[in-house]
Amino acid sequence: MTMRVTRLADAEPFAPVDHDGVGPVRLQGGASTPTSDFTVALSHYLPGALAALAPQAAETVYVILSGELVMASGGVEETLGAYDSVHFTPGTLRTVENRTHLPASMLVIRATS
């Protein structure tokens, strides 16, 4: 197979540990897809949502699609808006928080190893 389409309506929801008010769906990767080197998820953060302080298990890129999210790591905070992105290396401790009154969405691209 050279092309695999995942329709948003068919994307697999999942519940990451220590994420409150976050609704992610897996677009590519995971047990039901042939993707082997990375995963792609779409995460929706409600107002006040938080991904608690945790180390990145693998190299990860976040791309904000809408709204604003605050990324914090190593005592540094950055507010990211639509089409901003951030890269984290494996083991980096980070938090993600929606401090606004509007929902935010972000694409999460993570290496599997």
Q: Where are the domains of the chain?
A: 22-111
Question: How many residues are recorded in the chain?
Answer: 113
For 13, 48, 88, 107, 108, the CA distances from 102, given in Å and listed in that order, are: 21, 9, 25, 17, 19
pLDDT tens, the chain, 113 aa long: 588 889 999 999 999 999 999 999 999 987 767 788 999 999 999 999 999 999 999 999 999 999 999 999 999 999 999 999 999 999 999 999 999 999 999 999 999 87
For 45, 68, 74, the CA distances from 62, given in Å and listed in that order, are: 13, 12, 17
Cα–Cα nearest to 78, from 69, 91, 66: 69
At 27, list the tokens: 């677009």
> For 22-111, which CATH class?
mainly beta
For 17, 43, 91, 102, 108, the CA distances from 12, given in Å and listed in that order, are: 16, 12, 26, 24, 14
